[in-house]
């Protein structure tokens, strides 16, 4: 899985992220398949919403720039 550049968003340190992953696996182990899928769907929806907000923000910022200036990376 590709981790996004931290300059674009805040996040946990690599060690903190690994600790969180281990704890999450321990917490979700007793869930049924259906419960785990529902949880994953909720996390996926949150990711889609974040990306949508970022995309709209980038489009608005691009619209405000003079012609010929492109901030896309």
- 7 within domain boundaries: no
Quote the mean pLDDT of the chain. 87
Q: 57 lies in which domain range?
A: 16-63
Does the pLDDT of residue 50 top 60, yes or no?
yes
What total of structural domains would you count in the chain? 1
In this prediction the pTM is 0.65
Q: Which of 3, 25, 24, 27 is nearest to 13 (CA)?
A: 3
- 11 within domain boundaries: no
Distance CA 37, CA 31 (A): 9
Does the pLDDT of residue 56 top 60, yes or no?
yes
pLDDT at 7: 46
- 10 within domain boundaries: no
- 30 within domain boundaries: yes
Does the pLDDT of residue 31 top 90, yes or no?
yes
pLDDT at 11: 86
- 72 within domain boundaries: no
- 52 within domain boundaries: yes
Does the pLDDT of residue 4 top 70, yes or no?
no
């Amino acid at each position: 899985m590709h981790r996004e550049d931290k300059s674009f968003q805040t996040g946990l340190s690599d060690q903190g992220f690994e600790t969180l992953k281990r704890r999450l696996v321990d917490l979700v182990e007793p869930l049924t398949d259906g419960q785990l899928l529902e949880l994953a769907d909720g996390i996926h929806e949150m990711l889609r919403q974040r990306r949508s907000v970022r995309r709209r923000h980038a489009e608005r910022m691009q619209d405000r720039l003079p012609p010929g200036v492109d901030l896309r990376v």
